[in-house]
A and B are shown apart, each in its own frame.
Chain A
Amino acid sequence: GAGVSQSPSNKVTEKGKDVELRCDPISGHTALYWYRQSLGQGLEFLIYFQGNSAPDKSGLPSDRFSAERTGGSVSTLTIQRTQQEDSAVYLCASSLDAGKDEFFGPGTRLTVL
Chain B
Amino acid sequence: AQSVTQLGSHVSVSEGALVLLRCNYSSSVPPYLFWYVQYPNQGLQLLLKYTSAATLVKGINGFEAEFKKSETSFHLTKPSAHMSDAAEYFCAVTLSGGYNKLIFGAGTRLAVHP
Of all A-B residue pairs in the complex, the 3 with the closest CB atoms, nearest first, are A98-B99, A43-B104, A104-B44
Q: How far is the CB of B21 from chain A (nearest CB, A)?
A: 15
Q: List 15 A-B contacts (CB under 8 A).
A: A4-B43, A33-B100, A33-B102, A35-B104, A43-B104, A45-B103, A95-B100, A98-B99, A99-B97, A99-B99, A100-B100, A102-B102, A104-B45, A106-B41, A107-B43
Tally chain B residues at the interface, Cβ within 8 Å: 21
B-chain residues with CB within 8 Å of residue A71 when the two chains form the complex: none
CA distance A95 to B43 in the complex (A): 15
Instruction: Known contacts A42-B107, A43-B107; decide if A104 and B43 are in contact (CB<8 Å).
Output: yes
State whether A48 touches B107 (Cβ < 8 A): no
The SS class assigned to the A binding surface is: strand
State whether A91 touches B99 (Cβ < 8 A): no
State whether B100 touches A98 (Cβ < 8 A): yes
B-chain residues with CB within 8 Å of residue A107 when the two chains form the complex: 43
State whether A42 touches B98 (Cβ < 8 A): no
CA distance A105 to B90 in the complex (A): 16
Query: A82: CB under 8 A from chain B?
Result: no
Query: A21: CB under 8 A from chain B?
Result: no
